[in-house]
């Protein structure tokens, strides 16, 4: 896994290119959308904000730990959901880690620890997913 992370620029290009790759259809069916991979990842940090009013009339604003792989993460007021399917949410997880993080910080948001694979109830292996994408990207673009 760590060998794959040596070239974050290549990873960013490959993951961005892979948006329409059939692997996301397959993973969209396999993934349960449980959010465990994001909760155990040492680099995932997404959160949401929740307002509540107590019986005493006081308002509270809380920051809640959240996960972009969960169904309601991209839901907004009015009920619209920007990423309603597991396939979209799971691709977004990769996009954030390998494309957006590289564009913003010059590195991937993954340290190759393997915890997401270890705790995934669907046995999805991030290393295998990235390997397939990289191989196909190189075949078609390099
Ligand atoms: S392998 Fe990468 S994505 Fe998976 S838990 Fe570790 S840092 Fe997070
Ligand atoms: S832990 Fe596995 S099944 Fe759960 S959201 Fe992550 S990839 Fe999908």
| Residue extents of the structural domains in the chain | 2-141
What are the residues facing 49 on neighbouring strands? 63
CA–CA distances in Å: residue 101 to residues 16, 42, 59, 105, 119: 12, 15, 35, 6, 23
Among protein residues, the one whose CA lies closest to atom 2 of ligand 1: 110
For the chain, give me the number of helices (H) and strands (E)? 7, 2
Token pair, residue 93, equals 């997880």
Give the confidence band of 121 by pLDDT, cuts at 50, 70, 90.
Answer: very high
| Helix axes 126-141 and 8-17, enclosed angle (nearest 10) | 80
pLDDT for res 26: 97
Q: What is the pTM of this model?
A: 0.90
**For the chain, what percent of residues have pLDDT higher than 90?**
85
62: Cβ below 6 Å to ligand 2? no
36: Cβ below 6 Å to ligand 2? yes
Q: pLDDT tens across 45-96, in order?
A: 999 998 999 899 899 999 988 999 999 999 988 999 999 999 999 999 999 9
Cα of 1 to ligand 1 centre, how many Å?
Answer: 10
């Amino acid at each position: 896994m760590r060998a794959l992370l040596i070239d974050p620029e290549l990873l960013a290009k490959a993951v961005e290119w892979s948006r329409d790759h059939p692997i996301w259809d397959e993973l969209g069916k396999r993934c349960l959308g449980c959010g465990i991979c994001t909760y155990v990842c040492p680099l995932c940090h997404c959160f949401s904000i929740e307002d509540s009013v107590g019986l005493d009339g006081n308002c509270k604003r809380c920051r809640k730990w959240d996960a972009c792989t969960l169904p309601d993460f991209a839901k907004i007021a009015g009920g619209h959901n920007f990423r309603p399917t597991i396939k979209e949410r799971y691709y977004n997880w990769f996009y954030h880690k390998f494309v957006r993080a590289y564009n913003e910080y010059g590195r991937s948001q993954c340290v190759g620890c393997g915890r997401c694979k270890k705790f995934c109830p669907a046995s999805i292996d991030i290393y295998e997913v990235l390997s397939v994408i990289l191989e196909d990207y190189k075949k078609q673009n390099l």
